[in-house]
Structure 1
């Protein structure tokens, strides 16, 4: 059986080394690159693989690398990692076909689980996938007020802006936001945005301007 490989693209050498060590500790072949261009010049799609791609890098950033891969017709699943995640960036990443978006510093098991899912994929899950059905089921469990908070939240509005829209206090929005995250089983805002896009709750091309 061919060893599965993970391309790790990150300009932070310390983060790169620790991620490579983590992946190799579970038997994966980790191939490191410190720049997006170096990765694009050397990657191959002849073996099962996925890409762990940092968003912010000198020169060519992660989103630009994603665009370049799409232009080449690449089918490599992409997992973005970033310490600087805001909703427009997350939505653009998912709109471009990313399979996950993980915030730094990441939980090691969360990252490994995401990599294993990505390696099983040739493309993003379809709308009829079991994962999407699970998210739909969680949505039905939200109260009307929780849904009122969920929609502007994944569109990129701040808690204060949501409070103004709903005519409630910021503290109340904080409470409902916490409940939404728990009911949706979302470990982060990027994860929640990914769910919303996956089930068609929000239109990726209509974002709150920043």
Structure 2
């Protein structure tokens, strides 16, 4: 079991540090809202991973690989959600022009914010982005069984490997959030943050288009 867990951890680490949608969300949120916002977004993503892991452990994610309709339903909903997020970010970046040349935008001036409502919106964005991406569910369904030792309990082993994956992601997001927040603190120019929002919005629209155009 130890050998299998270590092998899984190595492969999962490579996949986790590969730039993707969830990492982009944590990166963007950390720059705009600070490290606290990045942590909340990461917590939302990790919560989504936990839900997918539990679904894989009880066999629900097998439905995504077996049913074309189920996969397409999640895929289309995910693409619509990402398109809405991208359009919202671009709209806020266009409408809300921060004041001042060196102070930067306060958290309340950008999507999200430091209020309880803002934190909830940030958490919801992280969890929704992960849960509405069928590739996240297929990841647990397709990768975990490849490393599962023979005769090992399916539920317990799946949850163990999933916990390893979530722990690696937590460490990775902690690094990304810290670096991005430090960058955001050093570069306080409103124009930089506005440009970051524009790039992020376009990237989310790109992920939406890619998910929508996927032919399974």
Instruction: Say yes or no: TM over 0.5.
Output: no
Structure number with the bigger relative contact order (C-alpha 8 A, sep ≥ 6) is: 2
Higher helix share: 2
- TM-score for both structures, normalised by structure 1: 0.29
Name the structure where strand makes up a greater proportion of residues: 1
